[in-house]
Amino acid sequence: MNFPKRLAAVATLSFAVSTAASAQPKEGASQTVQMTVQAGDPKLQISKHIYGHFAEHLGRCIYGGFWADKDSKAPQQGRIRMDIVEALKKIKVPNLRWPGGCFADTYHWRDGVGPTAQRPKMLNMWWGNNLEDNSFGTHEFLELCNLLGTEPYLAANVGSGTVQEMAGWMEYLNSNDDTPLVLERRKNGHPEPYKVTWWGIGNESWGCGGNMTAEYYTDVYKRYATFAHNYPASPGLKKIVSGANGDDAHWTETCMKNIPLNQMWGLTLHQYTLPTGSWTGSKGSATNFDEAQYFNTLKNCLKMEAVVTKHAAIMDKYDKDKKVALLVDEWGVWTDVEPGTNPGFLYQQNTLRDALVAGTTLNIFNNHCDRVRGANLAQAVNVLQAVILTEKDKMLLTPTYHLFDLYQVHQDAQYLPLQFSSPDYAVGNDKIPALNASASKDAKGAVHISLVNLDPNKALKLETALAGVSWKNVTGRILTSAKINDYNTFDKPNNVKLAVFSGAKKRGDKLAVELPPKSVVVLELK
């Protein structure tokens, strides 16, 4: 989790987009947008890991979320909630980051292994000063990942831990030799190595992970990375550098300049969307907002394009072959907490606006897939822009969940570049691009185009040419609702949901689309 020091600067954005809508366009709909889907490079894929998620010991993400309360009647295996597991399996969650966030740099893994009754308790100083009983530890997390069929992404404690502690965790999980740590793992119920390859070396080392300078952190990182060992049972360790806060170019420049490329697989970036744009005072309500606040949220979301572009350009200076992945492993909408809830639990509702932010952000990542090869929405359950909310034994899927359901078609698909000029969406004297999009071709040859219309008042018409694509039929699904601040509740869990989209047709050799206001559409062409 993130205590940012500064916000990214506003930048000029250029998008490649395509679409237009379902239903009837309103009066005043803009001119037809001409768009081209290009063939692209067959070797360039949209990594499935862009669609990753995040589970921190924060609020009710773990306890009361993934890890059921002892008296819960929700379906579970052990204490892992299986309704949550099945929902996340449906959207093919590719990786899950744990245990933090800020929590990671006060977490000592030995406290979370062995018989549950013997595990020491600790104070979660970052999030509400709650007592952490460590009943959900390493084995429980990796069992969760096994049930999900997802890649575990562990964050090592650099802020308050030691090199020996991190190296021991790796040995405990990945070695198959008869060392004391391996014997302990076997005694704790897992004879075979876990083969965990994704390892974050610290978290937000510029902030809650130690308030380090970039120069100091890179020296610390190199020391830790030296002792991050590849065991024969689990080769190919992916060492991940704790990267920049927002548009902090100096941090990225220092990491890329000081750390040898062979010592890092990835470099992280944290960038949140705040409705008000301010970390002091109110960040804005999750549900009670007007069009001006809606517009400001989307404008702040679109800064991601400039931030990613800036960091990618710095990385290109030192890594022309793009061997190092950029991982945006914390992103999403951060609002004020829901009234009456614990301020340290970061519980917020999730509206259609959040789904539009998620679709826009993922389009940006898709369009930068040459460098962005991983990302983690913050967070999976009950925290910030969650895809799932729970209330005791009840569970609901948020609009952002449905967005990830729509976009899963892009996972590991060939990237297809788009060309188009977006109409403006204006409020007062300010304006942003109304349309953003991304496209891909899957292993079976089907082309998918994801289109986001941010304008809540106007439909968009698109006419799209597809270079070198042979197709006969188009189908689609849409995510929209009557109001920009519509959301799902435990009484009305299907208020915002996916629907069949019938506003796309083949017209000659082109694709004609009418894209409704405030909507996300994903089309499939076969």
Which are the catalytic amino acids? 204, 330
B/e letters for 56-95, b = 16+ CB within 10 Å, e = fewer, are bbbbbbbbbbbbbeeeeebebeebbbebbbebbeebbbbb
DSSP 8-state symbol, 321? T
Q: Which two tokens stand for residue 202?
A: 């610290």
Count other C-beta atoms under 10 Å from residue 306's C-beta.
17
**HEC assignment per residue over 331-386:** EEECCCCCCCCCHHHCCCCCEHHHHHHHHHHHHHHHHCCCCEEEEEECCCECCCCC
245 within 8 A of 251, measured Cβ to Cβ: yes
The amino acid present at 411, given as its one-letter code, is Q
Estimate the crossing angle of helix 163-174 against helix 138-148, to 10 degrees.
50
Q: Is the CB of residue 233 less than 8 Å from the CB of residue 293?
A: no
∠ CA(310), CA(315), CA(319), 5° rounding?
155
Q: Which residues contact 423 (CB under 8 A, 6 or more apart)?
A: 30, 31, 33, 433, 434, 435, 455, 458, 460
